[in-house]
Amino acid sequence: MSRNPSPGWGMHALPRIARGEGSYLYDSAGRRYLDGSGGPAAFCIGHGNREVNAAISRQLEQVACGYRYLFTSEPMEELTGLLLGLCGSEYAHVVYSLSGSEAVESAMKVALQYWEASGHSSKKHFIARERSYHGNTLGALSVSGFLERRRPFEGSLLTVSFVSAANAYRPLGGLTEAALVSALANELDARIRTLGPERVAAFIFEPVVGAAGGVVPAPQGYAQAVRAVCDRHGVLMIADEVMSGSGRCGTWRALEHDGALADIMAIGKGLAGGYIPLAATIMRREIGDSIISGHGAILTGHTYSGHTAACAAGLAVQRIIERESLVSHVRRRGAMLLAELRAALGHIEEVGDVRGRGFFIGIELVRDRATREPFPAERGLSHAIGRRAFEDGLICYPCSGSVAGVCGDTLVVAPPFNASDSELSELIEKLTLALERTLAQG
């Protein structure tokens, strides 16, 4: 295969997908791949599920899509009711889109429209965190602290203020976890004061950082601390749960684990399990009500927002997850998977940290465990391991640039929620071998 270090490893090198069945994918040459990362943490109930396919087929036989300004639909109404029930009584409004980037973009627009409708039109500024990724639209990219992905578009992005990453493995100033939470909350507080609360619309963050950090859960107490800062200054809190939400972390809302509520949240990926593109922006009752009262409608969306067949797919996926108690299964089995990975990889000195929640686990690689020194960027270690694993029939998700936006190598493991114990054992075995063999090459 190509030695190109990019995630796709060069389009000319990619095999052609033929079919999927459960936790496995097959290419046109007949090779089988265990989907150990759910693609990009999206395929939450595996591939080729007949119940989901049948739900999509039934909807397509009736109508593919009713345009949202002309019609509502039974699948959209039922999915909306299900989502609001899962999120809790504080949430009352949903805007659908087709990707996580669009869901984040809508979350930003909802925040701006809320303040405009509430008579605070000066609140236009966003604060985000370093080492974050929120999507590839210009707005979502503007609030992303991901140097490599931002670089070609600098000069055309929104002006956004960034505060430090919430990373207990690489903490600000080498602080302990308890001291780190206080320092990060104080930093956000000071930034809002410097900018002026009357100018700040929202603070956006990932409860568990995905691609930009390689699965970095916020330290204990962090979400509640920043929630208090936002409340103190009248700033909205946006949770980007596109990668970490919809059950991936063992709670349906990723922030459930942290005991915090966002004003606006973006979800995607696992919402429809990859069967049809679907994402959503969910907001607290007061926010949606204020916008509708002041402007008549929530002014965000696209031609295919609330796409009928996509909502049918999402409804089918979520019903399976609910019926089979897969979120609680992910919470319980995910803790075991984390322990099993730590045990299997413990002998590899280059494995510095194995962390995560539920079926969302990150493995960080270092040159020295004691100093946590990263490997040089030019080595492209995580992508080399990803290539090796892929060649051996395992799909994982390699990430780079987690240290200062340049160095740092991590691997993400995010299997389907219903992966069997034998499949998880295969994942651990093949990942361990890929690490050992790649590192042995020097």
Q: Is pLDDT above 70 for 365?
A: yes
Q: What is the DSSP string of 257-296?
A: GGT---SEEEE-GGGTTTSS--EEEEEEHHHHHHHHHHHS
pLDDT at 1: 33
pLDDT at 29: 96
pTM of the model: 0.95
**Domain boundary assignment for the chain:** 11-48+325-440, 52-323
- For residue 9, what pLDDT band results from cuts at 50, 70 and 90? low
- For residue 11, what pLDDT band results from cuts at 50, 70 and 90? very low
pLDDT tens sequence across 220-267: 999 999 999 999 999 999 999 999 999 999 999 999 999 999 999 999
Taking the CA atoms of the chain, what radius of gyration do you get in angstroms?
21
pLDDT at 442: 72
Tell which wins on pLDDT, 207 or 1. Answer: 207
Residues 6 or more apart whose Cβ sits within 8 Å of residue 216: 131, 165, 166, 167, 169, 208, 209, 355, 362, 402
pLDDT at 2: 35
How many Cβ atoms sit within 10 Å of the Cβ of residue 392? 15
Q: Is pLDDT above 90 for 404?
A: no
Task: DSSP letter for 136, please.
Answer: S
Tokens of 161: 């203020």
pLDDT tens sequence across 304-353: 999 999 999 999 999 999 999 999 999 999 999 999 999 999 999 999 99
Domain 11-48+325-440 has CATH 3.40.50.10440: no
Beta bridge partners of 205: 239
CATH architecture of the domain covering 52-323: 3-Layer(aba) Sandwich (3.40)
pLDDT tens sequence across 141-174: 999 999 889 999 999 999 999 999 999 999 999 9
Beta bridge partners of 209: 216
Mean pLDDT of 406-415: 96
Q: In this structure, which amino acid lies at residue 131? A: R
Q: Are 181 and 227 in contact (CB under 8 A)?
A: no
Say if strands 216-217 and 200-205 run parallel, antiparallel, or are unpaired: unpaired
Mean pLDDT of 86-101: 97
Q: Is pLDDT above 80 for 385?
A: yes
Q: Are 86 and 315 in contact (CB under 8 A)?
A: no
CA angle, 276 then 410 then 395, to 5°: 45
Q: Is pLDDT above 70 for 10?
A: no
- Taking Cα atoms as reference points, which of 116, 74, 436 lies closest to residue 298? 116
pLDDT at 7: 53
Q: Are 432 and 36 in contact (CB under 8 A)?
A: no
